[in-house]
Structure formats: C-alpha cells, structure tokens
Structure 1
C-alpha cells in the first residue's frame, strides 16, 4: 500500500527552505531533500512525521518526539548525524537534519568479504568516538548500533543515526540505571539483554560495536542471535571465544584478540571503551585520517572501500563454489497466494518503517528562529556545500544496488521475472502482462516509476522484503533500483547480486 501523507495533510512551510524530492518514505514519515532559498548549494534533509497516522497506531506525541530529543542532545559530535532544527505543527513533526550525502555504510560492505582492514579500523574508531561522546558527555546509550544505522557524509565520515531505541542510562548524580527491557537487533544484541533481568545499556553498545567490527572485517554477522539456541553463538560461548575456524578464520590474530575482549559474554569482564582504545589494533594509525580521526583523503578512502566490492558479472561470478554467489536454494520457496512473492505496481511503496521518535518542542512554539544564518556560519555546514559534486571527493552517494538497461520494458520485466522465479520467489502475475494492463489506462509518459514489491525469506529463514523500482530516462535507459524495506541488509545485497547476475544479458554497461 502506498502512503501519500501530503495528500492527507498539506506540508508545513519551513522558513528559508525550498523542499526538493522525496528520498525515503515509511509508515509514519517521509524524508525530503531541501536547500536554502538564499543558497541552493546548502542542502539538508527534512523528515516529516505524520502525527495523525502515528496516533492511529497508538503513538502519542511524546512517543513521536522522543527520538529527536535524544538525537538533538547528541548532535555536538562530528560522528553523530546532526539535528539542525525541528518543530511541531497540527499534523506534522518536521526535523531538519544534515544531509548524509555519502549514503549508507551497509551498502558498501561486500557480503562474506567485508571491507579493507584499514577502512574497518577507520570506521570502528569513529564509532567508538561517537559512543564515548554519547556515554560520557550525554549519558545516553544508542541501543541499536549496526551498519543500517550508520550513514556517511560526502567525505566518507561515519554519521551515527536512528536514535529510535536510544535511552538515558546515566542519572544526574552520575550513577547508572539498570535496564531490563529487550531493545536492539538480534544479531547485534548483547547476551545479557536476552538472559539477564538487569544490565547496563552502555555495555551493550560496546558489544554491538564489536559485532559491527566483525561485520566490517568478515562481511557477515557471527551468529543470528546471542542465545544458546543458536549453534554459532553456543560454540563461541563454550569455547570462550577461542575460535579460529569458519568465518573466524578470516581474521588475523590481533583482530581476533580485540574481538574476544569486546565480545565477552560477561559484561563485567568486557572491555570498556577506554580499554579497547589502548589495544594495539585500535591504536594503529589510519593513513587517510587526521589526528582527530576525520577523513583527510576522501579519494583514498573511496578507492579502498570500492576495492572489496565485487562485480557479479565477471568471470568469478560463474564459480558456483564462491560463497557470495547465487545458489538455487538460497531463498525460501513460497506459493504466490501466500505472504511471500513479487508483484508489479505503478507507485513506489513505503521504503522503511520509520522508527517513532521523541523532543519537547514547546519552547519553540512562539519563537521565530532564523537558524539558516547560524547554519551558514557553522563549520558543520561545510558538509552541505556543493552537494552532488563528487569528482574529487568520496563515493557517489547513489546506492550500489542498481543497474541500467537499454532493452525494451517488456524484455526487462520478462528477464526480471525469470530471475525471481529462479530464486524461487513466486510472481503473483506476469510482470509484462501487468505492465500492459497499466499501459491501457495510463499515459505512457506517466506510467513510470514502476515498482515490483518483493518479499521472501533469507538463508536464516527471516523475512526479507523490498522494492525494485524501474525509472525511465531519456535515451531509452531504464534504471532498476533495489531498495530494502525489511531484513538483513547483507542478505539483501546477496539477493541483488543474484538477480543482477541472472539479468546480465539486459544490463547496459557504460
């Protein structure tokens, strides 16, 4: 189901800003690009949270504003996505944030391979710096550290985002609160969240940071959940982390040593942030970072990050033994009438469910703050300048999960359907037939973008869903853009690679 909030409620006017295109949409909110009216080169992101929809699902105004409260309190660090301004109107909470124009970190991690070790050290150091700031200066634990919640600025620097599960763990007197709720994402969740009736949230952030490092180095999580019901975690637990086989064999001795210190099941024996910063692996320098840990050479970072991304169309892609390649039984087979499958629609559907957020905005209600002047004078605004010019900077922000074709739309849809069926993802009705029916009722020039909704299960049996959006450009070029909605992002990249390989005959390579 496609949600159009602007049709339900007119968008509020935000002084000094000119809204651009929608870059994300969820069940409760959507995100648009925007620029200053006085300076179009200064680009930001604006998130609009639709309050009536939130209320419909039982979320109060306090529930909706909590995330932005905490993120605003943590916006004073270069590795935390910055909230610039926000306000409440009758139907919307709007939040102006810095534009993370380098895209998502998870989109740059090659499944089953990982990233260059120096790149892993660079991002791990930046994450540790961000968490140390959150814990020490703000008294806040993030509670959901994972690649999906890491964005990159135009120079490739890490920006910790999505404070939807964050909480205050430190009291005003400096003592820690004991938590008992189960927050987080299972593969990144610390075992005490599963087994203990009380734990300290800052120590669970450190565990999650260790899992993030493992993913950066190896290209997959070490287990699906931190429970003895998970064979991989049980083996790790029984052997006290002393593993050197399977996915652990891809790590060198110093990396293994650090991970064992961080991923200690007993939080009282787990390394603190201060301790892990003294480890030899951590203290090694990064050639493209300055003394404060900020990238000073975006081109080198970009080259190193791209060096591990593999092309599924090369000769290696024909090797069925390669662990990252398409396997016929990789995805769960389902019936077309069941909850899984694929279908064609004219409109783009929701991208991801927006994590409901929180901020006491009452103090702003009667104020007319000219924040645009402050933005132009702020050093942070350097990140917003010259948006779209990447020739001498970091990676192009476009998602890595897309490809172009110059074939006719019928051939593209038939080939895409063939790929989906080969992966045992049923198609509810012939894609090309659905297109012809749409073409009978809609002008050809208005039929795009088309969206193929897809839902399946990954290798762990967990839900994996997303959209394949087809957009038409001049010269007969069609862009196929794969956007994950739910599920493991590395599994999504695996399925994209499989589909791309199966569609190799229609791909236009410039």
Structure 2
C-alpha cells in the first residue's frame, strides 16, 4: 500500500456494541466484503485491523464519488450511459453471487465511481451468505435495505437474498433512466406500488410510458412480484437490451473513454436560476427539520462525517453563481481578479450544471477525480452577506437554524477555517438525510465555495435538496458571464 491513496473506514467498537453490533458482526462485514473484492466493479478491501477501541478498514478510493450525485433528479441520464453502468452493476452483483454472497443493500448511496468512470459497488454492511459450499441455498428473514429499493417479499418474511438483489438492480436501472424512484416503499400503503401490484406490473403512466418496449420488458422481468418468476442473472444477461454493444465500453466491460463518458453523464445536469426556477423552488414541499445548527469547526459527530470533514477542508473553492445582488458593485470590485477567478471555476466540473455554454469550460472540468462531489457553488459575496442568505433559504425550506449565532463571523474568521452548517432532516420520502453546508475561501481571492456535503442518505435526494437551496439562494451564486 506504500504510495497508494486509499479510503479508511473507522468503526468505534464501544459505540457499535451499544447499537447491538458485536465484534463478530463487524468482522463478518469485512470478511464478506474481502471475499467479493476480486472484481473490478467492487470496491477492494486492502487491509484491516483493530485495537482496543477501533476497527479500521482500508479500502480502494473511489475518487469519482457517488454516481447518483451526477444524475439530474426527475430527468435521469442518457440511455447509453445507463446501459454502461447497468452492465457494470450486474457484473459486480453476479460476481458476489458466485461467491455465495448477497449484498442486500443495493441503492444509489452504495454505487460509486473511480477516476476512470467505472462503477464500484460498496458497503457490505448488510451482506449475507446465501449459498453454502455444498451448493445448497439458505433464506434470510431479517428485514434490511432502503424501502424504495427493497423487494416486497423482504417485508413479508423469509426471502431469497439473491433474488432481492435482482429486484434492487431493477429499481436502480429505473432511477438511472428517470431520475426518480418508482415508489417510496413496496407495500400496499404506497399508492404507486399498489397500482403496480394490482396491474401485475403492467402500468403505463409516467414515467413508465417513457421507456422503450425493450427496456420495459427488462424492468418487468426484474421487478416480477412472483419471486419464482423473477428473472435470473443469466436471463438478464441474455436480454437483447443488455446484450447489445456500448460505445463507452471496452470488450471486457470497462470504460473506454473517460472524457466521452463524463461528457455524456454530465450532459443533463442543470441548475436554472431564472424567475420560473426560483418560483418553483420556493413552492416545493418543505423538508422536515430534525436538527440543524451551525458549527464553525466542530465536525459532525460520527466517524464517516469526521473523515469527510477533514478531507473536504483541502478541497478548492468550486461552485459558482451569480445573481443581481449589488451587481455593479461586484463587477467593479472584481475587475482585477476576475481572470484569476475564471481560472479556478473553468476547471471545476461543478460549473457544468450552471453553464449555458459548456464549451467555455476547460477539458479538465470533465476529469472525474475532480468530480467527487458536484453539490457546490461559488460565491463572491462577503461572508456577512452570504451566511444570512443561506440561513434564509434553509428556513424557507422548513429547516431551522435558530441555534446558530453568526454575529461574529467575518472574512477574517473564514481565512482560518471553513464555516459549517450541520443539517439533519428527512427527504420527501421521509428518509433520513444528513450532511452539512461548508463555506470556505480560495486563498488570495474573494471567491468562496459553498459545498453541500452528504454524510447519510440518498445522493439523488441530497442533490434535490442542494438544488432547492441553491436556487433559493440565487443572489449568492457566482457565474462568470
């Protein structure tokens, strides 16, 4: 591992024990993940160890970040892009199944990208052995997974975890193509799922009616309500939509041209800052506020978040936006440094979602190791003006910031450390959503990064949250025009 960049997951043993996880449970996750690490589309376990307080796991770094951070909500991605990632996902899942391991938590949060644009399946915390060495299969009975992605039989009792993985892959394909989940949970309480159930999967309303007949037939094979009729991995592979060639893929299924893939992946990303978009963002449903407070330097109180906080302090300022706020004053004050600012933002992939003319961006903006997180924007406003704008947008979206006092926050404070807003809320599906908004400054410039860092929750829903707050804060966003 010498000279290699990798990710480390720390697990505090005592805290885990308090939440009902034994050392054996933690060790089982590591061993099953290691057992499945021999595939190029599965995050590799490189090393692990323990002491009296901590267990740590060193893993391959997926420097491209969340795949679903780069998918536009309610829009999805190009069909060829979805096809490329779908084939890589089922390659990874099939490899795990061949090892006798079912993942049991296939969802956007656990689907990452490496720097070359290849999909990486991650997080084996709920994985289970379903096939014994003698070839016999065992069922599972523990309910687990994220409701929008879990198969309906998981709620009922015993289930075949390999077949529930196939169901989850079908839902993920649906989300890639549409930018939304088909339902919130696979029960009769959900009217969209109930409609799917009573029509035996033959629904023709939006977004189902957007699919080609080939895609629709594949989805219906994977989302069969009758478990014994649900498609096997062999039948999925033989399906004509799955089996066709892909322009982004090498013969062995890896990314052939990272720049070409990234260009197509980012093509549909867009954040509009006009009056219509602002009106829509202001009228959207409010988020449920569980907890929200500012901390100037204190990291979020879990291990993953602490690691994320330390890492992101080293990120360059990255996003941008520009509205009418004191426009003439801003233009005059930026005359001498505008070129320097443009040199920063033109290399940043997050700029793509705001740019009306993407050709002005440098090719380096499409390098995936710079695109771990696209939920950020740039601002040139003074911090004393920027913070109230963000607070107001959060409050208008139903998230309380009453516990934060920003009277003493100045530009001078920002030079020494970023300012952080911790947000704990629920998304529109009432699923847990947790993260922070960090404001940092580019050394030597007035340019600031406002970065939305997710630590828990669906990346597609986090992007939806980011878009809503960003559009409501449009007077703070800088875009070079």
TM-score by length of 1: 0.78
1:283 match: secondary structure: coil
Alignment of 1:213-292 (within 5 A): 213-292=173-252
- Secondary structure of the residue aligned to 1:246 is coil
Q: Deviations over 1:44-91 (max 9, x none)?
A: 222232334334444322222221111100110000000111122233
Deviation, 1:353, is 7.1
1:344 to 283, 286, 294: 294
Alpha-carbon spacing, 1:83–1:473, altered in 2? closer, same or farther (3 Å): same
- Residue 401 of structure 2: which of 415, 427, 439 is its match? 427
C-alpha displacement of 1:498: 1.3
Kept after mapping to 2: 8 A contact 1:351/1:484: no
Distance 1:79 1:314, change over 3 A: farther
Shift of 1:268: 0.5
Distance 2:304 2:127 in 1: 14
By how many angstroms is 1:449 displaced? 1.8
Aligned length: 422
Q: Secondary structure at the match of 2:145?
A: coil
- Deviation per CA, 1:431-484: give whole Å up to 9, x if none: 5xx222467xx9836752221122334323444332111122211322111122
Please show how residues 63-78 of structure 1 align to structure 2 within 5 Å: 63-78=25-40
Following the alignment from structure 2 to structure 1, what is the Cα–Cα distance between the partners of residues 149 and 198? 19
- How far is 1:277 from its partner? 0.9
The Cα offsets for residues 143-190 of structure 1, whole Å up to 9 and x where unpaired, read as 000111011011110000000000100011101002111111111110
- Asked if the contact 1:79/1:126 (under 8 Å) is kept, the reply is yes
Residue aligning to 1:436: 407
Q: 1:247 to 1:147 in 2, by over 3 A?
A: same
Q: Distance in 2 between matches of 1:457 and 1:92?
A: 30
Tell me the residue number matched to 2:43: 81
Q: Name the CA shift for 1:52/1:457 in 2 (closer, same or farther; >3 Å).
A: closer
Inter-CA distance 307–489: structure 2 relative to 1 (3 Å threshold) = same
Residues of 1 paired with 2:248 and 2:221: CA distance? 27
**Residue number among 286, 289, 309 corresponding to 1:331 in the alignment:** 286
The question of 1:455 aligning with 2:424 is answered: yes
Note the C-alpha offset of 1:393.
4.7
Pick from 142, 151, 166: which aligns with 1:206?
Answer: 166
The unaligned stretches of length 5 or more in structure 1 are 1-15, 17-35, 334-338, 356-388
Q: Which residue of 2 aligns with 1:499?
A: 469
The answer to whether structure 1 residue 187 and structure 2 residue 158 are counterparts is no
Equivalence for 1:477 = 447
Q: CA deviation at 1:313?
A: 2.5
Deviations 1:123-144 (A, max 9, x none): 11001111111111x1000000
1:333-375 per-residue CA deviation (whole Å, 9 max, x = no partner) reads 6xxxxx63532111243386769xxxxxxxxxxxxxxxxxxxx
Distance 2:12 2:159 in 1: 34
d(CA) in 2 for partners of 1:160, 1:390? 26
The RMSD of aligned alpha carbons is: 2.4
Structure with a larger share of its residues in helix? 2
Provide the rounded CA distance (Å) in 1 between the counterparts of 2:303 and 2:460: 18
